[in-house]
Structure 1
Amino acid sequence: MAADNTPAPTDRLGASALKAFTHPLRMALLSALQEGPATATMLARRLGESSGQTSYHLRQLERHGLVEDDPAHVGGRERWWRAVGFTVDGGAMLADPATTTNAQDLVAFAVADQARTLGEWAARLGTDHARRGQAALSATLDLTEEEAVDLVTRGQRLLDEVSAEAEARAAAGATGDRRRVRVYFNVLPLPAPGTPGADT
């Protein structure tokens, strides 16, 4: 997920929440909210939908604990929403016939969303805003399944800590020349040599 003021992940997405989430508009709404809190009207304009549609689907996301009221905007005429962090056991969801299709939809959306975000960033490379804090880290490693899981766990722990620190600074009213950043952390198994899809 994105590294921003979204609360650090506190729960693992269950099967019923996954099924509710993997609706194209709901996934788009959550992706948009990871860029910052917004109202249903603002999201409708951004996504080219009616405010009635965005309001309905935001309430469905709220029912499953995926969005919540933004505490920085209370008492106004329209509700402000923010995303709630969560984790997904992708392997288990893909292996379970009851959730395989939904898990595949989520993976496809995540890949497309990353590609869109990276493409937009690349188009802005000539600006100071795009260059600030940029980093592209990658490595190809030989790991056991347990070691790969440990890498994911350690990466998630670090991201949770940084997210919680950012949220605490925002709650304390900290100022400074801060910019929103998007962090992707992928650990992907590669095909074994000699299998279809492997490099030759």
Structure 2
Amino acid sequence: MLDVTVIEDAEAAAVSLDPIRARLLAELAGGPASAAMLAGKVGLPRQKVNYHLKALERHGLVELAGERRKGNVTERLMRATAASYVISPLALASVQPDPDRFRDQFSARWLLALGARLVRDVGSLITGATKARKPLATFALDGEVTFASAAERAAFVTELTAGVTALINKYDAPGAAGGREHRIVVAVHPTLKSPEPGPSDAGPENPELTER
């Protein structure tokens, strides 16, 4: 079972978003089960569960893990193809975000568009690499920083921009024979905390988090 996989097909996305089918995916992420085993957990008749499982199987969201005999019946044991799923913007291709449409490094919505493109591109790369049975070279860096003030955050962004730009200029070789093109995305945003009683963190009392 994969840890995470990307759903690129619109019909598969619609199937996965159905509440009952999403519940079945969650149950099957914990291990193989038959329609009869799942029926009691989701509170539906076995035949209804089997109907939903077949829909999930048609779109590659679940697969056959094995079969077992129970009395005069042979039960199909199904399992989820991944522990979790991400829906690619390709599932809504005609309205997917395009970060090239506008560029504003301080816009949270532009950051969201960049994130959507990242999901789309990496998802497509994973799909292609899987079909070709080839490894995919990727790298990710994740961390958190607490800024003492908005001025410190602004200084950090300035230094980060200068540092990354210097690295790009140092290693960029657009005319190199056999060169390997890579995209670089660096994001800085407030850490998302669990909601607490009181005014919203993004409300007027905290203008640092409002959209530009």
Q: TM-score, normalised by structure 1?
A: 0.44
Bigger-Rg structure (1/2): 2
Structure number with the bigger relative contact order (C-alpha 8 A, sep ≥ 6) is 1
| Greater per-residue strand proportion | 2
Q: TM-score, normalised by structure 2?
A: 0.42
